[in-house]
Structure 1
């Protein structure tokens, strides 16, 4: 007596992943049974939820959450049951209209990346101060010039040569621009040892990512465009889900994580404040 699958499900099937007329879900199911694996075995090996495995084997891809994630799940399940994923991906795209056009990032995440402009020196205030100083100096010189003219006349009448004195004009002070301290990505190298710091960057393409702290609070859930990066920090643990792990580079506690993530693969990762460790 078998547990979990009926005797009919446990009968071996040939590899029909490339036969015409066989659906993607049925090809995966037949290959799984031929490999002697249960749905629980495949779910544990791939970290794809049992409900999603059942749905895909029934050719129901709605629980995957979109074409990108459906292709990633198909690729992951095919490798787990020893099938070539390429024909299955091609058949899925033929049945569902091919790859979708790129989707622009939601305005919600665009607003997060807007940085305030740097404030420069207040040149208007400096110019006003300089004008006031010049006007004051001209008025003072004109007033002193009237007095010195009377003294000069009396000195000339007495045969005394008047002496000329030059007054130095004051130099207006310019406001010094306030130094701007803008953090750079290299600051992750000095991450505090009592916390876990994870930097996620997308140098090879865009990817949907989700990040939560140790309490399950959502830190970020959205699309990371090519060339962008996000840094997350928590007192003990960061949980990540990468929609396209092949496009992502990770730095954990100042160290780059060496990985062999494949394009389109969905990865669930956990990092702590100790040595970088995949959860």
Structure 2
């Protein structure tokens, strides 16, 4: 596969668009490589519109989708642009002649009579053993096998039932923020409006999270001092700080840098 041709209009090439979005999101090549698991040489080649390192047209489209989501932009227009610019380079795979398929067709397998005989013997021995065991136990006291009464669904004290004397664990709360310990900062990010790339660090600068959050997914962090966020495509992320809904992290396509402390929900 050769290096892609120049786009026919004034819009940036696929690789240039990905590079601009990455820079706008404040991400380095190493950070995007770590998040997407696309090796740095391949990522750099794609940003220069060299797709020969991708290993084929299908892999190139997959890399474009992965990198676009990581930097917070819609991948489909870039995939369509790539297909339009490289349509001449993709040749249909030759169809094998019919006689080739007939020639390599495997012969039908012959029945394994030995295995069938062994299975029949095992079945007979098992049936005889079951008959003997059932006959010996037929005169026994049937009262010993009578089922015991099932425990009441509610005990005398009105508490929930127990299994084998062990209390059932309490049902967890539907919100991780509701159970947050006092004196700490708890931040929940929920991708309500689309995919967003998020990086979270604690008060000591330790990285807690760095990945793309797909639509419908959410993640929660807790720290004693503060939580710092870098949110790509901030208009797609709903934030909950110390149990309160503070709304969207920013506007669509914006890269937001936010910090929260135990005294918030106002931004620290």
Q: Does TM, scored on the shorter chain, surpass 0.5?
A: no
TM-score if structure 1 supplies the norm length?
A: 0.42
TM-score if structure 2 supplies the norm length?
A: 0.44
Pair member with larger Rg: 1
